[in-house]
Chains A and B, each alone.
Chain A
Amino acid sequence: DTEVTQTPKHLVMGMTNKKSLKCEQHMGHRAMYWYKQKAKKPPELMFVYSYEKLSINESVPSRFSPECPNSSLLNLHLHALQPEDSALYLCASSHAGQMNTEAFFGQGTRLTVV
């Protein structure tokens, strides 16, 4: 199984809503990532989890709150988002502690904030 599964595929939320994005992998990877991708732009790193601990936060606003409940799951909790936060949110995973390793990506959640 070389899949990273993200749910939901699409999400529309209001600026006062609270929602969560979910990501799951069963490849035994102990590093997981959240990326944000705007249209016609490259993915931009948001958060890195290594061995279920947050290791990198790329100065992401606090309205985005990541959580790694176990080695297979990664969540991104959303609250009080702005329309400019509308984007494709990608989850990825890789072997932790290795510098020369492939990161596997999910299909993303297309988020629209209204």
Chain B
Amino acid sequence: GESVGLHLPTLSVQEGDNSIINCAYSNSASDYFIWYKQESGKGPQFIIDIRSNMDKRQGQRVTVLLNKTVKHLSLQIAATQPGDSAVYFCAENTGAGSYQLTFGKGTKLSVIP
């Protein structure tokens, strides 16, 4: 299930189940979005991106959905594995005419073996 801690929401899922991580972004003018995975002690790692002229994009085991009407992004991970345990951040390009990535709050995904 999902719980919201003091600073970082946490999602716990059983290994093999699908995970859905949600993100509300801030700027209706943002035109590009990225999901990053950050493991403990490491820098953010690119997972998948989507442009604002799309509403869905699929990668290997991951799918990103974009709903511009309600400014909402989601990341779906199929057949979640223990190696997927990490903090997941959505990021939006909020720069007007320049590139400025602004990160959302993040969700900690814990996979139960």
Chain A residues with a Cβ under 8 A of chain B: 4, 6, 31, 33, 40-45, 48, 50, 55-56, 90, 92, 94, 96, 98-108, 110
Q: Smallest distance from the beta carbon of A28 to chain B beta carbons, Å? A: 16
Q: How large is the interface on B (under 10, 10 to 19, 20 to 34, 35 or more residues)?
A: 20 to 34
Q: Quick one: closest A residue to B49, CB to CB?
A: A102
Q: Quick one: closest B residue to A106, CB to CB?
A: B43
- List 24 A-B residue pairs with CB atoms under 8 Å apart, sorted by A's residue number: A40-B8, A40-B106, A41-B105, A42-B103, A42-B105, A45-B100, A55-B98, A90-B43, A99-B31, A99-B32, A99-B93, A99-B95, A99-B99, A100-B31, A100-B32, A100-B49, A100-B51, A102-B34, A102-B49, A103-B46, A103-B101, A104-B46, A105-B44, A107-B41
Say yes or no: A45-B101 contact (C-beta < 8 A), given A102-B34, A105-B44, A107-B42.
Answer: yes
Once bound together, how far apart are the Cα atoms of A102 and B106, in whole Å?
Answer: 18
Once bound together, how far apart are the Cα atoms of A50 and B34, in whole Å?
Answer: 20
Which residues of chain A have C-beta atoms less than 8 A from B100's C-beta? Answer: 45, 48, 56
Which residues of chain A have C-beta atoms less than 8 A from B31's C-beta? Answer: 99-100
Having A48-B100, A98-B99, one finds 10 other A-B pairs with CB under 8 Å, namely: A4-B43, A40-B7, A40-B106, A41-B105, A41-B106, A42-B103, A48-B99, A107-B41, A107-B42, A108-B43
Once bound together, how far apart are the Cα atoms of A106 and B49, in whole Å?
Answer: 19
Among A31, A42, A104, A106, the most chain B Cβ lie within 10 Å of the Cβ of A42
Q: Quick one: closest B residue to A107, CB to CB?
A: B43
Answer whether residue B81 sits at the interface, using C-beta atoms and an 8 A cutoff.
no
Which residues of chain A have C-beta atoms less than 8 A from B45's C-beta? Answer: 105
Q: Quick one: closest A residue to B101, CB to CB?
A: A103
Q: Smallest distance from the beta carbon of A16 to chain B beta carbons, Å? A: 28
Which residues of chain A have C-beta atoms less than 8 A from B49's C-beta? Answer: 100, 102
B93 touches A42 (CB 8 A): no
